[in-house]
Structure 1
Amino acid sequence: MNRSVRWVLSALGVAFTAYLATGGMFWTRPVDAPIVLVLSLVTYLTVTGLCIFWPTRPMTGADPRGAARPAVDGSAVTAVTAEMSRPAALPLWIALLAFAVAVVVPTATWWAAGDEGRLQPFATWSLGGLGALMAVLVVRRRSIVAWSGIAVMFLQSVMWIGIGPTLSLGAVGSAIWVGGAQIIVLLIDRAAVETAELTRLQREASEWLATQEGRRRERRVRVQRALAVAGPVLSRTIAADGDLDDDERLQARLAEGRLRDELRGPRLLDDAVRRVLEDVRRSGSHVTFLDEGGLDGLDERELAAIRAELADVLDGARSERLYIRTSTHPDTAVTVVGRSRREDGVDEDVDLWREIPRPKK
């Protein structure tokens, strides 16, 4: 909860409880034990002050409804959710001290006021005052103790002044205050849960939009690279109406291969890999080049090491068909397989097999 809001609420709580306790300071008739009345007021005000001002920290990592919540990155916590996080409950010993006040103060007040003064405002102030104290306990997350205090106060009041005066002089209002405080706390907790959920959804939406924007940029870069690679060949093909000589057909085939490489496996490409791939294709090999996501999580230094080893593997390879694929195996980054026809020209043999290991962390 925001500190300024908390101090305002604390000031209102002090003013309200002090107003209710003021009724016990003005005696309209002689009392049997004035010192007991004074001590009851002082005890009440002291314990109420403890309940209002005792500092507690927000319960990080806890759902406002009391359930465990998964830990989240600190950067994801906004100012709104931080201010609405659930505060820790009041220490139990202070709550039990307030419950003891609910047990002792009404009895002491009515005993000290005497038989003739028990229905006077200076003797019945505790009905409203203790209701306010129990409402404070509800706000400080000690609802069970608060409702127990209301029940004890009600029973004592019936014993000392009877059921009629109990209902008409403030006990019902005290129960309503505690019930209202309980409802407000539940609504605030629900608002905190929904605010945190909305914040999470907004963060996920922002991350999704950022991802899509990154993919759009990547697609634009790939399209520009594709136009740079295939544009001249396409222009020449259109100008010649498809009538290309052998060298132009070779250039078209190489351009198609480069274009496929840029679209299917850009993370495996650098200048050295592009050079050896073109040399392999010029020698007549058919190359299938595919990145299927096995390189996710590798940084640029690790990718550079994989590219360098891939260039070494492909340098001088003369297989008729080369298959280059990334691997999802935890120990293998890239698999290179070469196949060539046997001398009988029917079946194929594997004449190249190389697994490039995944760099160790």
Structure 2
Amino acid sequence: MISVKNVLIVLAVAFTAYLAARGLSWTAPVPQPLIVVTTLALYLATTWLCIFWEPASVRAVAHPAVPHHEAPAGHPDDAAQAPVDGIRGPLPLPVIAQLLALACAVIVPSAVSIAVGAASRTAPFATWYLGGIGALMTIVMVRRRPWTAWSGIVALTVASMIWMGPVTALALGLVGSIVWVACAQLLVLSMDRAARDTSRLTRLQRAATGWQTAQVVRQRERRVQVQRALAVAGPVLTRTVAHAGVLTDADRLEARIAEGRLRDEMRGPRLLDDEVRAELERARRRGANVTVLDEGGLEGVDDETLGVIRAQLAEALRSASSDRLYIRTSPDERIAVTVVGRSTSVGAPSDEDAVDLWREIPHPGRG
């Protein structure tokens, strides 16, 4: 499969191979050709290792690393992918590859300069390492090891200036290598910033979508509540207006029942179904004072479980004869609803009552 990553890998391999091949195009006798070939082999092996090496343990770790940070050996960031806010990027170069890259930056310039002899140190086949080590350090920079990359450039600068002289080294390619590494660092910084911005915009878009959805749901719930309130209170209000506020006892009872229904719908809608509403109305019609409160504890309960809880609540209300009924949800993980009934005790003062009903409805399937 053709991708940007694969294209860049092919270009990196081809370019580094070309730079190494320049070291074999000798135009003059080489006093120690074995050293030249050995350094070329070391360079290519290290460079391609830096390009391709992505240990399985590194790819498997999802812990985000901090880009452009030199983590010590054994630090969790060494095994991280270095994504930016969840967006994948180049993986950090393993420590062993970093050490090999630094070793190349230190060994190759001096080894090549010694092997070709003093007379050929500025020949094209002897100065290939200026671009070669620069390309290697550019790869190291892209693999998120900036301190290693700049340390390699410093080693290359010192060695090349010692063997060629400062002016000659700068003229033959040292400046280009420094520019490559600097541009690579700026490019990685820009990519990471773009990744952060993209991720931030994605999160904002998701948050906005979630907020909009929540508003739509709330508006729908408000419409349902308004329609239900009109259905409950509409007939009572119509009769009140028609009779100019002069109500019979039956009308007052219907008004109190309508008020109780509205309170139930606002305070404990998750506890209500048709059967529970009917039992609540029956209790109010016989003169009981009923309070329904949803104080939490039913969040995340599925409809089937709610149906079982409501059926038990309706059964408890059906057998209740208390003067006051208090129905509350429970935050306890085992108890779903508590039903308490209180009635005035015979012979007791009028302002004192006793508990004559206590029913705890457990969560189905919980201990």
TM-score normalised by L of structure 1: 0.84
* Separation of aligned partners in 1, 2:255 and 2:325: 19
Q: Give per-residue Cα distances to partners, 1:178-220, cap 9 Å, x unaligned.
A: 2332233233234333433332333233223222222221221
Q: Match of 1:126?
A: 129
Aligned match of 1:265: 268
Question: Following TM superposition, by how much is the alpha carbon of 1:43 offset from its aligned partner in structure 2, in angstroms?
Answer: 4.3
The Cα of 1:12 is off from its aligned counterpart by: 3.5
**Distance in 2 separating the partners of 1:217 and 1:334:** 27
SS at match of 1:335: strand
Report the CA distance shift for 1:312/1:194 in structure 2 as closer, same or farther (over 3 A). same
Aligned pair in 2 of structure 1 residues 3, 354: CA closer, same or farther (>3 Å)?
farther
Following superposition, the deviation at residue 273 of structure 1 comes to 0.8
Write the letter of the residue equivalent to 2:168.
Answer: P
Deviation at 1:99, TM superposition (A): 3.1
Matches of 2:92 and 2:320, distance apart in 1: 71
Q: Which moved more, 1:13-22 or 1:102-111?
A: 13-22
Which one of the candidate residues 336, 354, 357 is aligned to 2:359? 354
RMSD value, Cα: 3.0
C-alpha separation between the residues in 1 aligned to 2:340 and 2:43?
A: 85
Alignment partner, residue 326 of structure 1:
329
The amino acid that maps onto 2:219 is R
Question: 1:63–1:325: structure 2 CA closer, same or farther, 3 Å change rule?
Answer: farther
Correspondence for 2:340 among 322, 337, 351 = 337
1:231 and 2:234 matched: yes
Q: Is the 8 A contact 2:54 2:91 kept in 1?
A: no
Secondary structure of residue in 1 paired with 2:3: helix
1:32 maps to amino acid? P
1:204 aligned partner? 207
**Residue 257 of structure 2 is aligned to residue 254 of structure 1:** yes
Task: Kindly indicate whether the alpha-carbon contact (under 8 Å) linking 1:324 and 1:336 is maintained by their aligned counterparts in 2.
Answer: yes
Matched, 1:151 2:154: yes
CA distance in 1, matches of 2:315, 2:218: 31
> How many residues are matched?
349
Deviation at 1:81, TM superposition (A): 6.7
Q: Per the alignment, do residues 9 and 180 of structure 1 end up closer, same or farther by CA in structure 2, a change over 3 Å counting? A: same
Distance (whole Å) between structure 2 residues aligned to residue 49 and residue 229 of structure 1: 78
Separation in 2, partners of 1:195, 1:360: 45
Identity of aligned residues (%): 55
Q: Is the 8 A contact 1:64 1:189 kept in 2?
A: no
* Bigger shift: residues 8-17 or 206-215: 8-17
8 A contact 2:90–2:142 mirrored in 1 = no
Residue equivalent to 1:77: none
User: Contact 1:106–1:126 at 8 Å: present in 2 too?
Assistant: yes
- The match for 2:9 is 10
Report what 1:179 is aligned to: 182
Question: Partner amino acid for 2:300?
Answer: G
In the alignment, what sits opposite 1:74?
none
Deviations 1:255-310 (A, max 9, x none): 22222212221110112211111110010011111212231121112212221221
Partner of 2:80: none
The higher-RCO structure (CA 8 Å, 6+ apart) is 1
| Structure 1: gaps of 5 or more residues | 70-79
On the 8 A contact 1:64/1:192 being kept in 2, the answer is no
| 2:128 aligned counterpart, secondary structure | helix
Change in 2 beyond 3 A, CA 1:350/1:3: farther
Partner of 1:24: 23
Query: Is contact 1:63–1:193 with CA below 8 Å preserved after alignment?
Result: no
Q: Is the 8 A contact 1:59 1:86 kept in 2?
A: no
Structure 2 distance, partners of 1:45, 1:170, is: 19
CA distance in 1, matches of 2:203, 2:147: 32
Please name the residue that 2:62 is paired with: 60
Aligned partner of 1:324: which letter? I
What amino acid is aligned across from residue 154 of structure 2 in structure 1? A
**Partner SS, residue 86 of structure 1:** coil
Greater shift after overlay, 281-290 or 226-235?
Answer: 226-235
- Aligned equivalents of 2:161 and 2:269: distance in 1? 84
Matched residue, 1:188: 191
Which residues of structure 2 form unaligned runs of 5+? 78-83
Counterpart CA distance in 1 for 2:25 and 2:331 is 83
Q: What letter corresponds to residue 7 of structure 1 in structure 2?
A: N
Q: 1:17-72 CA deviation, whole Å, 9 max, x = no partner?
A: 35544543444433323454455445434443333344564853414547989xxx
Equivalent-residue separation in structure 2 for 1:274 and 1:359 (angstroms): 21
1:306-339 CA distance string (max 9 Å, x none):
2122112211322222221222233322222223
State the 1:131 CA deviation.
0.7
Read off the aligned partner of 2:62 and give its amino acid letter: T
- Provide the C-alpha distance between the structure 1 equivalents of 2:198 and 2:344, rounded to a whole number of angstroms: 66
